[in-house]
Structure 1
Amino acid sequence: MPDPTILPAAAPDAMPGLLAALVAEQDREAAAWLETAVATPPLPGTAEFMRLFAIAGRKPAGTAPPGWPPARLARAALLAASVHAAGDEAPARLATAFRRSDSAERAAILQSLMLLPDPARFADLAADACRSSVQPVFEAIACDNRYPAAHFAEPVFNQMVLKAVITGAPLARVVGLAERTTAQLRRMAADFRDERRASNRPVPADLEFLLELGN
């Protein structure tokens, strides 16, 4: 089964169908429910969207691509259809949906960002999510997700990487880290290492890994 984050480029209105096809490989009953839901999708953040988004989290059972909990595929399909329907209102409406979501739903939104039409529009939401103190929410944007490498400005990306080190999110799962590592990021990492050593605190192994990138 292909990783949905590397699906071939598709028109925005085709992405829900591609995701639904992945769901169908796992659970045809769930796929039938999803087909009905995305046919006339509610706008993100509305009460009907939140209701369907919650239900989608219980569909389907089975396997999924690495890094993707099975139910997130259904949520990603519903989200892609709803964001496409929202047009220019999508950033504001998705921000509303994010605020109204629980932690699992927020993680699904973040992991799905690269599958949405014109994903660069959601950079502010993704950057704000990096401040989350809920580890699964932070890891949904920081780990196994192409969005930060593709759309984060350098300061935002650097802060995300350092937070990953601090919180124990594996840097090996930060997509595009080698390509986005700059001299500034290495300086920040070196300063953090020196602070840890000065206070006789252990230096995280991933910090040394980061400092070796590009050397």
Structure 2
Amino acid sequence: MTYGTGSLPALGTVRARLDAALDATAHAWLHAALADAAARPAPGAPEHGVEPWELRFAEAARRTGDEHADAARLLLLHAARADTATLTALYTQGTAAERRAVLLALPHLVEGPGALPLIEDALRANDTRLVEAAVGPYAAAHLPAHAWRHAVLKCLFTGVPVDALARLTERALGDGELARMLGDFADERTAAGRPVPDDLHRVLALTAPEPLKDGRADPHGKES
């Protein structure tokens, strides 16, 4: 079971699917790991080194398999009531796979834009696993327009499918500046003798202004 990026599954659904996919040994590990996470001190309590649940977070892939690690880590973070400071520490110290799990967990755990530095860091990377995880529901809800447009271009440049971009249709609608940036990107690719990604034409079509009630198109589009 993989935990996708463009949509936000309910935690109950994630747990049910993971329970159904794991064998008895992995299921026992998950049960113990979630108990460790639930028993952690409340965020802000005095620290006492690495906590047991953090070790569980790191070993999740080895215990559940790579295909289930994202889901297991999401459930651990939720059970541990991980706040932005905890998520930032895990991201900063973690492997690429652990960083991906933190990014995927953000919309479940962080309400405001406080974790945007993690999204911005991932979008500066050339690891497509991180880029894909960074453009999910949390980015769609909190990235400013200019940064979000560059996230779209990052996907096109690195080959991340634009389906990973949460709320793509909604955010691209009527965005004239995004249309301009896409046109410039296409021109640069053509001038360099490189193919223009098919996804670019798809996103460009989404930027068309929304029709007004009388059937005419809104000539203004979105503000930057």
Shift of 1:56: 2.3
| CA deviation map 1:181-206 (0-9, x unaligned) | 11111111111112222333322222
- d(CA) in 1 for partners of 2:133, 2:115: 15
In structure 2, distance between residues paired with 1:35 and 1:81? 6
Match of 1:152 among 143, 161, 177: 143
State the partner residue of 2:215.
none
Shift of 1:156: 1.4
Q: Pick the structure with greater CA Rg.
A: 2
Aligned residues: 194
Residue in 2 aligned with 1:122?
A: 115
Aligned CA distance change for structure 1 residues 19 and 34 (closer, same or farther; 3 Å)? farther
Q: Where has structure 1 moved over 4 Å in runs of 4 or more?
A: 1-4, 17-22, 42-46
Q: Over residues 88-138 of structure 1, what are the superposed CA-to-partner deviations in whole Å (9 max), with x where a residue is unaligned?
A: xx3233222111000111111111111114253312221221111222121
Cα distance, 1:22–1:175 mapped onto 2, change above 3 Å: same
SS in 1 for 2:62: coil
2:129 maps to amino acid: P
CA deviation profile, 1:150-203 (whole Å, cap 9, x unmatched):
121111111111010001111133221111111111111111112222333322
Give the one of 141, 148, 152 matched to 1:161: 152
Question: Is the 1:41–1:78 contact (alpha carbons within 8 Å) kept by the matching residues of 2?
Answer: no
Letter in 1 for 2:20: E
Contact 2:182/2:204 (8 A) holds in 1: yes
Q: Secondary structure at the match of 1:5?
A: coil
Matched, 1:170 2:161: yes
| 1:30 lines up with 2:29 in the alignment | yes
Distance 2:69 2:92 in 1: 20
| Pair 1:58 & 2:62 matched | yes
Instruction: Please give the TM-score of this superposition, normalised by the length of structure 2.
Output: 0.74
Q: 2:112 and 2:73 mapped to 1: Cα distance?
A: 16
Question: Which position in structure 2 is the counterpart of 1:64?
Answer: none
* TM-score, normalised with respect to structure 1: 0.77
- The answer to whether the 8 Å contact 2:70/2:101 transfers is yes
Matches within 5 A, 1:192-203: 192-203=185-196
